[in-house]
């Protein structure tokens, strides 16, 4: 395993990181089997495990699996997504983060978190307020480094400026969505991360399932049954997949290996999160760990999905209030009448 520096943290991590959403028992997985998958990943040299308080009981599953092996792992988790009906059980306020971190520490069975990340931006909370409480957690020894996820480039810059101005800890890690189908972050987020010395943990390297080869245009796809995600039925994304499948075959590669090798080939990406649901999934992915794509294959990918572009829309991507709220993007009839 060739380990990489996580930005300027001094921490070295594997190019493959283990995502844990699928280990939640709510996803239909047996906790004991999930524990075996986690230990198999560690035995293979993967040393970064990424979790979130939002992932059901995944933190507890991870905590049990790491008994006796905690010091081998760079343990990351996230905060910010709604954790109940209480409107204050979410976001990036001091009130919530101070409660949420204690709950994550308890579930993970550890006294510290190596990378504590804000899962989504919280426009309702002042950035200095958020960085202040995260700084306190670092100084208390409960957190080693702080990070963000799915953050717009302007907010990344603002957070760095706020931290410098106020003498606070700065975000050391960004976790953006990045795959062959979602290359928009190549324009701004990845160069910014490099500029500020941030490590990057790419989520969604398989295009949320499309780049596994299991979803094909006009086919009977198990992955689609009961799903309402637009990105799984977006014709533009499916058209791109239909061009990528023969490229993988011509290159003698599985689609999963092509997808992962592409992501970790970018100099702005530190690690890519894989989320195996079964031991077979993990073993398949581990076989592609040493795959390096030659320039001619990367050039072909550039022709199918040009650099810096996204094909269609990824449902789980962050949408700021300026996009979500109608009143922030158009003058409503009442406002026009008053004017």
Which residues does the annotation mark as catalytic? 55
| Dist CA 323 CA 313 (whole Å) | 13
Q: Report residue 11 as tokens.
A: 């921490």
Angle at 147 between CA 167 and CA 325, to 5 degrees: 100
Residue 40 neighbours by CB distance under 10 Å: 16
Q: Tell me how far CA of residue 232 lies from CA of 23, 227, 263, in angstroms.
A: 22, 8, 20
E-assigned strands of the chain? 4-5, 12-13, 16-19, 48-50, 74-79, 113-118, 143-149, 173-175, 199-202, 271-274
| Dist CA 292 CA 174 (whole Å) | 24
Could you tell me which residues come within 8 angstroms of residue 143 by beta carbon, excluding any fewer than 6 positions away? Answer: 101, 112, 113, 114, 116, 134, 137
Residue 63 neighbours by CB distance under 10 Å: 21
Largest CA distance in the chain: 67
| Dist CA 228 CA 221 (whole Å) | 13
| Dist CA 265 CA 268 (whole Å) | 9
Of 164, 51, 38, nearest to 117 by C-alpha is 51
Beta bridge partner(s), residue 28: none
- For the chain, how are helix, strand and coil distributed in percent, rounded to 5? 45, 15, 40
Using only C-alpha atoms, what is the Rg of the chain?
Answer: 20
Q: Which residue shows structure tokens 């006294």? A: 111
């Amino acid at each position: 395993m060739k380990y990489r520096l996580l930005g300027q943290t001094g921490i070295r991590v594997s190019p493959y990181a283990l995502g844990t959403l699928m280990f939640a028992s709510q996803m239909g997985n047996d906790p004991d089997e999930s524990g075996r998958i986690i230990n198999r990943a560690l035995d293979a040299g993967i040393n970064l495990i990424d979790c979130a308080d939002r992932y059901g009981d995944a933190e507890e599953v991870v905590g049990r699996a790491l008994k006796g092996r905690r010091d081998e792992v760079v343990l990351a988790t996230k905060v910010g997504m709604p954790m109940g009906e209480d409107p204050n059980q979410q976001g990036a306020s001091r009130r919530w983060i101070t409660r949420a971190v204690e709950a994550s520490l308890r579930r993970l069975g550890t006294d510290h978190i190596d990378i504590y990340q804000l899962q989504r931006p919280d426009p309702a909370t002042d950035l200095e307020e958020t960085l202040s409480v995260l700084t306190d957690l670092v100084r208390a020894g409960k957190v080693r480094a702080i990070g963000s996820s799915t953050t717009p480039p302007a907010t990344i810059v603002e957070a760095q400026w706020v931290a410098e101005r106020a003498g606070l800890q700065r975000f050391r890690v960004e976790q953006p969505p990045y795959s062959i189908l979602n290359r928009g972050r190549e324009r701004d987020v990845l160069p910014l991360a490099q500029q500020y010395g941030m490590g990057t943990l790419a989520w969604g390297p398989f295009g949320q399932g499309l780049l596994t080869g299991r979803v094909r245009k006009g086919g009977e796809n198990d992955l689609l049954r009961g799903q309402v995600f637009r990105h799984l039925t977006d014709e533009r994304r499916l058209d791109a997949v239909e061009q990528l499948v023969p490229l993988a075959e011509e290159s003698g590669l599985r689609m999963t290996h092509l997808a992962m090798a592409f992501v970790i080939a970018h100099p702005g990406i530190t690690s890519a999160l894989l989320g195996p649901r079964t031991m077979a999934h993990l073993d398949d992915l581990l076989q592609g760990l040493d795959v390096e794509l030659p320039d001619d294959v990367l050039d072909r990918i550039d022709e199918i999905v040009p650099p810096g572009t996204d094909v269609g829309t990824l449902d789980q991507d962050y949408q700021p209030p300026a996009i979500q709220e109608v009143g922030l993007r158009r003058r409503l009839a009442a406002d026009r009448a008053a004017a």
